Structure formats: C-alpha cells, structure tokens
Amino acid sequence: LEGNVHTHESTKGKYLVVNFWATWCPPCLKEIPAFVEFYDNHSDKVQILGLDYEQANKKAIIEFTDTFMVNYPIILFDGKNSDQFGKFGDVFGMPTTYIYDPKGNLVDFRMGEIDIQTLEKSIL
C-alpha cells in the first residue's frame, strides 16, 4: 500500500509468509488476527506479505487494514502485477498461504484458513 517493492530477494535471511487473500473471503478475514499476532511475536525472523488478490480501491483497503490493525505489508493486485504475484506461488482458492525459509525454499503451503499454531510450527 505504501509503494515499496517486495521480492524473495528483499526478504533474504527471514522466513517469508505470503498470504493471498481478499476482502470478500470470510476465511481470509478470520485468519487476519493470527497473522497480526504472529508478526508481532516473530517480526525479527519473519516477513509477511499480504497479497490482496482482487481489484480493490486503495483507500478502501487502507481503511479495512486499519480496522483489523494489520501490521505487515499489503500488496494490491492491479491487473498489471499478476506476473509479480505469480512469482510467490499459484492461487488455487482463497486464502492461500506459502511459507518460505530464509534461503527461499518452500517449507509449507496451505489452502484455506491458517492459525497461529500452524504458522509457528513452520518456523520453529
């Protein structure tokens, strides 16, 4: 939302959690508090990227993420960045989460709602 560029290379040395989500997806909304708490507890060794996979108004998403107190970067899908979104993994349904180790290797893939215990097991 702030115009920063995020790639696998920009997160080297940390676990990377990539979460494809959308505001219209109830399981996506239900898991946001787990991502917020997980990032609060582990931001020293984890980077989370929330990839909002819908055509959305930036102002509306900012209001939405403020409501949920989202503390990690959100990247908006705009139709022009589908190639960049695809570099983080395929989306088979919402939500979809990929977890990469600090070397960029995929260590976990989840389709559907994820909880904090599952997130923590992937990095411990």
Please check whether residue 13 lies inside any domain of the structure. Answer: no
Please check whether residue 5 lies inside any domain of the structure. Answer: no
- Buried-state track 51-82, b at ≥16 Cβ within 10 A, e below 16: bbbeebeeeebeebbeeeebebbbbbbeeeee
- Predicted pLDDT of residue 57: 81
H-helix or E-strand spanning residue 36: helix 26-42
Please check whether residue 14 lies inside any domain of the structure. Answer: no
pLDDT of 124 above 50: yes
Please check whether residue 90 lies inside any domain of the structure. Answer: yes
Question: What one-letter code names the amino acid at 84?
Answer: Q
H-helix or E-strand spanning residue 63: helix 58-67
Please check whether residue 41 lies inside any domain of the structure. Answer: yes
Whole-prediction pTM value? 0.85
Q: Which domain covers residue 101, as residue numbers?
A: 20-123
Please check whether residue 9 lies inside any domain of the structure. Answer: no
Q: What is the pLDDT of residues 36-86, one digit of tens each?
A: 999 999 999 999 999 988 887 888 889 989 999 999 999 888 767 666 766
Three-class secondary structure of residue 107 per DSSP: strand
pLDDT of 89 above 90: no
CB 23 within 8 A of CB 29: yes
Tracing tokens 């990690």 back to the chain, one arrives at 72
Please check whether residue 1 lies inside any domain of the structure. Answer: no
Please check whether residue 71 lies inside any domain of the structure. Answer: yes
CATH number of the domain to which 107 belongs? 3.40.30.10
Q: How many domains does the chain have?
A: 1
- Measured from the Cβ of residue 9, the count of other Cβ atoms closer than 10 Å reads 8
